[in-house]
Structure 1
């Protein structure tokens, strides 16, 4: 069915902080309903009664305009603000309360009910580690800086435009993983060897590949009608890179049908890195 023909429901993502947590959770839940289009409206930093009253007005207006009560995903922790939101014409889903109440009963301790506690990291070691990892990945993108590769947690290799850069940055931003990435080029295939720069760090290498047809599409967006983007060239480079990775015993996967999240999870598992959130 054409996506434009699907029925639409409005979803409000309400948080007393940035809204990252509520967005992540709601996306996971709503992805299970492919017969409905969801229009998401973000309401971050709802941390006062005044802001909550404004939110109620918006939600009620939406209900009147659409004829349906909006779905509210909430990570609010202030009880007064939450109760005020519940007075709106909506379907209210309390993400934190659903789990926190059960945990309180199980362990015999009350929660802190602190606003934005999951993101209070501006002065923490985790936050500094994440910033360091992002800077490292940016400076070691596409083999542009080869010093300090010994400090890399993982080095992604593969042909140009196969997904190395976005995967590196995702690993850095989400997990504080220092991920460098290094291109495999036709010169490497002619020499039939890995680039000398990364040979000493073979245990840190993980390969990315991609279907030649998809690679050609991506490259044509960057350099249309070039030899670099031809299907023939893409087939050659992908074939040679996969041969090299198999010959060198380097774990690899195809990124063609996988999300950045799936790719990153596989990298962490294969290299044996910690999945601790940054």
Structure 2
């Protein structure tokens, strides 16, 4: 993959028509429901969804309020879809009364595990999202702190400790990808913005040049970059199609000359880009990578 950009399909147009209501309902933060539910919804790119996350059901959020919201939504269109990670069987039964299609993401699997392990699962709410291994938790927190300190090239301190350094023009997706890798995998990730000051040159910027073997580049389409930048600085040179075309061309040339692997963020989610980076940089074998529990 080094020195070339993977060929990705053109971005599909957004689905038209009414949006199906989707609720991610959880007795804790909702992260698991969002992650698993969104992975399933991704298999239906032709359908538009309006998503809502409802966390801490049964403790902070009253169950009746959720049911009322589901019923209200059902009266205005098709029945909502609920992705639930709820441990309390009574709450799960109540959700089924909300005129919604309820997809229980975990209960069936818990029953299978109970059989396999010959023991009953804990019933405490929020258990799915416990800290688990404290060492693992603190490794993630250290990784997040490292990512914040090294966001947008703000710091050179301990840059030689980085597992990967993401290099890209402004607004190509550096920061969200950096934070995802840090929070979900405990990786030490820095990112560096390519600016006009870094060109013309055939070499990597001095800040990241000593760490070329750990650099990974992001690019996008000039049109997509222009659209994103117009949201931040409308009608500016920074957001012009000509400026974006120039920056993308210079960045890709730089990656190729220095044999830096790179990919386009135009048609990929943060999760997909992170997976490509992990595979390309062989980071799955690093001892400090710990998947999110």
- TM-score, L = length of structure 1: 0.83
Query: Which whole-Å CA distance do the structure 2 matches of 1:266 and 1:30 have between them?
Result: 21
Q: Is 1:21 equivalent to 2:36 in the alignment? A: no
- Contact map agreement 2:202 2:257 (CA 8 A) in 1: no
Aligned ranges 1:103-182 → 2 under 5 Å: 103-121=113-131, 124-182=134-192
* Structure 1 equivalent of residue 3 of structure 2: none
- Contact map agreement 1:130 1:175 (CA 8 A) in 2: yes
2:54 aligned to which of 38, 43, 66: 43
Shifted more, 137-146 versus 110-119: the winner is 110-119
* Structure 2 equivalent of residue 216 of structure 1: 226
Query: Which whole-Å CA distance do the structure 2 matches of 1:2 and 1:186 have between them?
Result: 33
Aligned ranges 1:1-278 → 2 under 5 Å: 5-6=17-18, 9-33=20-44, 36-47=47-58, 51-60=62-71, 62-63=73-74, 65-66=75-76, 69-121=79-131, 124-274=134-284, 276-278=290-292
Q: Which runs of 5+ in 1 are unaligned?
A: none
- Contact map agreement 2:217 2:263 (CA 8 A) in 1: yes
- TM-score, L = length of structure 2: 0.79
Specify which structure has the bigger relative contact order, considering alpha-carbon pairs within 8 angstroms and separated by 6 or more residues: 2
Question: Aligned pair count?
Answer: 275
Q: Deviations over 1:74-112 (max 9, x none)?
A: 211123333344455443322111222223334444333
Shifted more, 200-209 versus 219-228: the winner is 219-228
Query: Which whole-Å CA distance do the structure 2 matches of 1:225 and 1:54 have between them?
Result: 44
Q: Structure 1 residue 224: deviation in Å?
A: 4.1
Q: Deviations over 1:25-84 (max 9, x none)?
A: 222223434565544444322236x93355445545555x34765433221112333334
**Cα gap change, 1:152 to 1:80, in 2 (>3 Å):** same
Query: Which whole-Å CA distance do the structure 1 matches of 2:83 and 2:207 have between them?
Result: 49
Greater percentage in helix: 1
